[in-house]
Amino acid sequence: MLSGRVVTCCHCQVIQDFELKSEKENAEIRLSDPLQYQSIVDAEWNIIYDKLDKCVKSGAKIVLSRLAIGDLATQYFADRDILCARRVTEEDLQRVATATGGTVQTSVNNVVDDVLGSCEVFEEKQVGNERFNIFSGCPSGQTMTIVLRGGADQVFY
């Protein structure tokens, strides 16, 4: 179980950049000095770590993203006791933002205290073959989820 601040990111190019990808075909860098190569590589890594640090410095303990979050970012967050969830639907991001009192973000550049949501308890539970993220003790008090489970879809019609 985890409690704390929640940041939700939607259409967030920054979060997408948390996933390392191969370079585009025909990308070209011309160097006059081979020693410049390491400085370019270091600059790329610094950009990624700067984005991750902004999430950490925001005080968020839970990061939700509509896009993929790569292994590097997942490990970086885990090392700092931050849970991250990737590929959360836009509808679910809006629900969580409403329930926790936060605002869905499109960038990590403006993640200030006012846009973070909060909950007393966050836990992941498995019901049948599905896993659910449960946010409890949310400040709005206007949201509720009821999980219905049956042997077949026809049970609910």
DSSP for 91-139 reads: HHHHHHHHHHT--EES-STT--GGG-EEEEEEEEEEETTEEEEEEES-T
* DSSP E strand boundaries for 10-106: 60-65, 83-85, 104-105
Is 28 among the domain residues? no
Residue % of the chain over a pLDDT of 90:
8
Is 29 among the domain residues? no
Nearest residue to 138 via CA among 118, 123, 116: 118
Calpha distance 40→25 (Å, rounded): 18
Residue 8 confidence (pLDDT) = 61
Is 98 among the domain residues? yes
Is 115 among the domain residues? yes
CATH classification of the domain holding 149: 3.50.7.10
pLDDT digits (tens, 9 = 90+) for 111-127: 888 888 888 888 888 88
Calpha distance 62→82 (Å, rounded): 6
Boundaries of domain holding 58: 2-21+36-156
Is 14 among the domain residues? yes
Is 47 among the domain residues? yes
pLDDT digits (tens, 9 = 90+) for 50-103: 989 998 988 888 999 888 888 999 999 999 999 998 888 889 888 888 888 888
First to last CA, the chain: 34
Is 79 among the domain residues? yes
Q: Is the pLDDT of residue 23 over 60?
A: no
Residue 18 confidence (pLDDT) = 57
Q: Kindly report the average pLDDT of the chain as a whole number.
A: 80
Is 108 among the domain residues? yes
Q: Name the residue with higher pLDDT: 152 or 78.
A: 78
Residue 3 confidence (pLDDT) = 55
Q: Is the pLDDT of residue 141 over 80?
A: no
Number of domains observed in the structure of the chain: 1
Going from the C-alpha of 41 to that of each of 36, 38, 140, 146, the distances in angstroms are 9, 5, 45, 49
Residue 7 confidence (pLDDT) = 62
Residue 29 confidence (pLDDT) = 77
Output DSSP code: residue 57: H
